[in-house]
Amino acid sequence: MEKDLKKVFIKTYGCQMNDRDSEAVAQDMEKSGYTLTNEETEADVLLFNTCSVRDQAERKAMGKIGLIKRYQKNKPNLKVGVIGCMAQSKGEEITEKYGHVDVVVGTDQLHKIPELLEKAEKEQTQIVSRGLSRDILDRLAVHPEGQISAQISIMRGCNEYCTYCIVPFTRGQEKSRPIASIITEVKALVEKGVREIMYLGQNITAYGIIEARKERKYDKEVSPFAELLRETAKIDGIKRIRFTSPHARYFNDDLINTIAAEPKISRMIHFPLQSGSDKILKLMRRRHTGADFMEWVNKLKDRVEGVTFSTDLIVGLPGETDEDFEATRQMCNEIDFDQEFIFRYSKRRNTPAAKMPNQLDEDLKMERNQILLQDLADRLTAKNEKLVGTIQEVLVEGPSKRNSERWNGRNVNHKIVIFDPNDGVKVGDMVKIKIDMGTQHSLYGEYLEHSEDS
């Protein structure tokens, strides 16, 4: 198999964890002799990294995979792979429905894709590989060159079993990497020019807890994730540390105090609310109340100077009434989220919520979705206008995608800041920008000087 002549195109659906998996798969494919292409019509291998968390993402992937069959009329040797969450949950269903799919590779078998493609071609058969592996995280610890911000997967899976969520069935139980392994990866990335780290995990604030319990070292007052953040902050060259996606109930005092004490940690904290109604939170099996959530938020606001929040929300869980929705709306406005990832509830296989009575119609879900989006837009515009005249410390990312004559970066709250470049400014620098305009989505300003730690 002349892999050095073959081009691979990877299409990713869903969350940041999938983006990171695709990035690592791309590196593995290149090491195995493939070259990457951004044009699917040029590819000899098409890989679809799928998501099953939302019905819409799954339907998009299935529709696209079905259309690919027509490519093979003109390119009969084209290989097609379905990988990730949908591959894990559906397995042989995919090969039965789509005879043109060569490999179906689950979430913990991604490092085997090159060899599975070779086997499928050699044996002229469809292959399904879905076994769970505890060493997958270290196997995927590969990154492309030239990054300023790098994503690192530090744990995988989830043990929460929220009633609407399929993640425990597609990603398995929680498993965390050792701190030493992660720090080694961070230091290697710093040597390549990385200045910002984004830690990833399905239940990231529970990092290390399962392993600590097995070793009889677990203390509910201690956060293994906080320990990792402290060790990361010690590394010279790292300017910013971010993370997603946490569960609110693991924000203990150790973690909150660590965030407050370490200025390298982003002041934009992702804090998934899902619902502001106690009734809906109980149906979701979130294991906390709205009052609990507000207590954690207020602790962060009291202790972490300048903290802002993003969140995940689900509208239209079965049985959600107007009163339940209004509780969510009021809580969003009270907390004053800077970013909201809003999802309309959709049934997921094997989840209790799929069998609940009082399923809501799509029009009502859409209406509630739009109301929350408009509330957010109104709040953000007002908040960003209030930042006019302030001086923001910005990590420079490079030319703006919309206007290459201007540059952009992000401040400590992960807000986009756009400015005219200065001759002495380069990608990865920390600079001070005086804000002269604020809109819903961005801040605009002028360069003042480099920060002391640039």
Reduce the DSSP state of residue 108 to 3 states and report it. coil
Q: How confident is the model at residue 2 (pLDDT cuts 50, 70, 90)?
A: very low
298 phi, psi to nearest 5 deg: -65, -35
Burial class (CB in 10 A: 0-12, 13-18, 19+), 217: exposed
332 within 8 A of 368, measured Cβ to Cβ: no
Residues 179, 170: Cα–Cα separation, whole Å: 25
Q: Average pLDDT, stretch 94-105?
A: 96
Q: What is the pLDDT of residue 131?
A: 81
Q: What's the order of all strands across the beta sheet hosting 149-153?
A: 149-153, 196-200, 240-244
In the block, residue with structure tokens 């002391």: 452
pLDDT score at 14: 85
Q: How far is CA 76 from CA 44, 72, 73, 364, 399, in A?
A: 10, 5, 6, 45, 41
Backbone angles phi, psi at 66, to 5 degrees: -65, -40
111-118: average pLDDT: 95
For the chain, give the percent of residues with pLDDT over 70: 98
Q: Take residue 396 and report the two structure tokens written for it.
A: 């420079």
- In our burial notation (b when 16+ CB lie closer than 10 A, e otherwise), range 124-149 reads eebbbbbebbeebbeebbebeeebbb
CA distance 221 to 287: 18
User: How far apart are the C-alpha atoms of 380 and 384, rounded to whole Å?
Assistant: 6
Q: What is the pLDDT of residue 113?
A: 96
Question: Whole-number mean pLDDT of the chain?
Answer: 94
Question: In whole angstroms, how far apart are CA 166 and each of 51, 55, 251, 347, 452?
Answer: 10, 11, 23, 10, 46
Strands 155-156 and 175-176: antiparallel
Q: Which domains does the chain have, with CATH numbers?
A: 3-129 (3.40.50.12160), 136-385 (3.80.30.20), 391-450 (2.40.50.140)
pLDDT of residue 380: 96
3-state secondary structure of 410: strand
Contacts of 186 (CB under 8 A, 6+ apart): 152, 194, 197, 232, 235, 238
pTM above 0.85, yes or no: yes
Average pLDDT over residues 17-21: 93
What is the rounded distance in angstroms from the CA atom of residue 26 to the CA atom of residue 37?
10
Highest mean pLDDT among 17-21, 168-172, 319-323: 319-323
Q: Using alpha carbons only, what angle is made at residue 19 by residues 230 and 311, rounded to the nearest 5 degrees?
A: 60
Share of the chain above pLDDT 90, in %: 87
Please name the amino acid found at residue 309.
F
pLDDT confidence band for 49 (50 / 70 / 90): very high
pLDDT at residue 5, rounded to an integer:
67
**219-243: average pLDDT:** 97
In angstroms, the CA 158 to CA 141 distance is 20
Band of pLDDT at residue 73, cut at 50, 70 and 90: confident
- Out of 132-136, 181-185, 408-412, pick the least confident: 132-136
Indicate if the pLDDT at residue 249 is higher than 80: yes
Helix (H, G, I), strand (E, B) or coil at 4: helix
- pLDDT per residue over 194-220, tens digit each? 999 999 999 999 999 999 999 988 898
Model confidence pLDDT, tens digit, residues 143-197 = 999 999 999 999 999 999 999 999 999 999 999 999 999 999 999 999 999 999 9
Instruction: Give the other-Cβ count within 10 Å of 6's Cβ.
Output: 19
Half-sphere exposure of 108 (CA within 13 A, CB side): 20
- Neighbour count for residue 453 (Cβ, 10 Å): 10
pLDDT at residue 454 is higher than 80:
no
